[in-house]
Structure 1
Amino acid sequence: MTDAKNEGPPRLTRLTFHGPLSEARADNLVRRLAGTGPGTVLDLGCGWGELMLRVLAAVPGAKGIGVDVNAEDLDRGRRAAEARGLAGRAEFREESARGTAHGPADLVLCLGSSHALSPAAPPHHTSEALCTLRGLVTDGGRVLFGEGIWQRPPTPAELSGMWPGAAAEELHDLAGLVDLAVAAGFRPEWTETASLDEWEAFESAYQADAEVWLAGNGDHPLAAETRERLDGHRARWMAYRGVLGFAYLTLVPVR
């Protein structure tokens, strides 16, 4: 049985997507991707695979495989698939995306997971991931690639407040990212970036469960650890707010 005394805060229940993605943008993405009629969908670093499940719901008969190393997220995806009547068409596998044997697929999703495809250090992992994705998508298919970018060059002071070792060379700007996609064998069908509203909704929802739990459990054995984690993440968010961006590229493979 679970020891309620040692239970920590709930995890990410306020998040629909594990990234800065609004319902409106997700609807547009799903409509555009489903319009290509994919029969197979591969979601790399899928988490709980929310966008994959929405594509499958929009394309009767399509089948999807989601790959991730987080068992808790995968279980959430399986429960969602079951609840939506998609369990027979959606498979969630606990395994690394690197060197995956799955594919080629008609639609490949890689949202914030380029690091899972390449052992290279940033920013070189991005180009390697894009080259890998070119080999995982069918001719005439689509890749939806989501990747962090700099909205503008960060200052040294801003970098010092971000994640440990943050460097200006670590990420590309939007133009540089699109150029990498073209060099990897794609043409950009659609290019878009997350808005500040999407970022704020994501970051707030990312913390909300634990913040509410901490407010009512200040004497809990896990309170100090939780407080340190929340305060540290919020400080980093405030440092990269408006500087760190996120691009969504809908890519068409060149034959």
Structure 2
Amino acid sequence: MQSYHRHLVTHADHPVAAPLSEDSVRVLLDRAMPRDRAPLLLDLGCGQGTWLLRALAARPDAEGVGVDIDPAGIDHGLREAERLGLAEKLRLVTEDASRYPVDRPGDVVLCVGATHAFGGLLPSLEAAAAHLAPGGTVLLGEGFWERPPGPDALRVLGCDADAYDDLAGTVRRVTDAGWTPVYGHVSTAAEWDDYEWSWTGSLARWTLEHPGHPEAPGAAALAADHRTGWLTGYRGTLGFVTLALRRTPPTTH
């Protein structure tokens, strides 16, 4: 019987595990990667290594290192790298990203949709800074409130209203912590819808194609619950911003 790994199924149609289109990913990577040297990219919480695979395909001179706690995602990423002929330039490590030792500094350090692994926005920036080469760029993806959340949104998301700030407040927290945005992308409603329909749809389709699998009933219920929670809870309320950030130089007097 075919094995079931929820994350691989839910992201089968949308391998970027965040509400971002392929074009948005391409532009963000292009803005973040240096043009004057062969870049090393480090993805903290890389999932299946999708961002790194996109970067390596776009920049033949780049190298990538990804860290994630999920061995199934790591194995999938390594197989995909082999298929694309990128395996020699990519290293994926099964490890807790918050405990990954500082080795070779990265020219680009990514943490997109994985700030929970570090305890939130600012702790994620601190962790990324420890791995960042001088003059490097952090690509950070984080949620924010498009509008004040109602009780349904908070219930579905399992958080309090102070879990996120609005967009202006999110950027202000970043700049107050000593970072300068050099680019940013706010996920559009269309990107959110594509992400959520893909997440729930690929899972629902899997249950229909594997009706005898012992995980199918639970997966079908999860797809339905997630779809209802999104549509009646946080759709149009939870936003997502991806920021390209560089360290702000200290002020001299």
TM-score by length of 1: 0.87
Q: Following the alignment from structure 1 to structure 2, what is the Cα–Cα distance between the partners of residues 81 and 221? A: 31
**Structure 1 counterpart of 2:182:** 189
**Structure 2 counterpart of 1:178:** 171
Give the CA RMSD over aligned residues. 2.1
Aligned 8 A contact 2:109 2:137 in 1: yes
Confirm whether residue 133 of structure 1 aligns to residue 128 of structure 2.
yes
- Alpha-carbon deviation of 1:132? 2.1
- Alpha-carbon deviation of 1:148? 0.9
Confirm whether residue 149 of structure 1 aligns to residue 144 of structure 2.
yes
**Structure 1 counterpart of 2:13:** 14
**Structure 2 counterpart of 1:159:** 154
Q: Which runs of 5+ in 1 are unaligned?
A: 119-124
Q: Which runs of 5+ in 2 are unaligned?
A: none
Q: How does 1:45-60 map to 2 (within 5 A)?
A: 45-60=45-60
Aligned 8 A contact 1:131 1:185 in 2: no
- Alpha-carbon deviation of 1:143? 0.6
Q: Identify the range of structure 1 (206-215 vs 74-83) with the bigger mean alpha-carbon deviation.
A: 206-215
- Alpha-carbon deviation of 1:107? 0.5
Q: Number of matched residues?
A: 244
1:108-143 Cα distance to aligned partner (Å, 9 max, x none): 01001112123xxxxxx2212112222221121111
- Alpha-carbon deviation of 1:26? 1.6
- Taking only the aligned residue pairs, the percentage that are identical comes to 34
Confirm whether residue 109 of structure 1 aligns to residue 110 of structure 2.
yes
- Alpha-carbon deviation of 1:28? 1.2
Aligned 8 A contact 1:150 1:245 in 2: yes
Q: Following the alignment from structure 2 to structure 1, what is the Cα–Cα distance between the partners of residues 214 and 72? A: 23
- Alpha-carbon deviation of 1:60? 2.7
Cα distance change of structure 1 residues 229 and 246 upon mapping to structure 2, 3 Å threshold: same
**Structure 2 counterpart of 1:72:** 72
Task: Kindly indicate which of the two structures has a greater share of residues assigned to helix.
Answer: 2
Aligned 8 A contact 2:33 2:137 in 1: no
Q: Following the alignment from structure 2 to structure 1, what is the Cα–Cα distance between the partners of residues 4 and 40? A: 39
Aligned 8 A contact 1:15 1:202 in 2: yes
- Alpha-carbon deviation of 1:216? 5.0
SS of 1:101 mapped into structure 2:
coil
1:227-251 Cα distance to aligned partner (Å, 9 max, x none): 2211221122111001011101000
Q: Identify the range of structure 1 (243-252 vs 208-217) with the bigger mean alpha-carbon deviation.
A: 208-217
Aligned 8 A contact 2:33 2:108 in 1: no
Confirm whether residue 90 of structure 1 aligns to residue 83 of structure 2.
no
Aligned 8 A contact 1:191 1:250 in 2: yes
TM-score by length of 2: 0.88
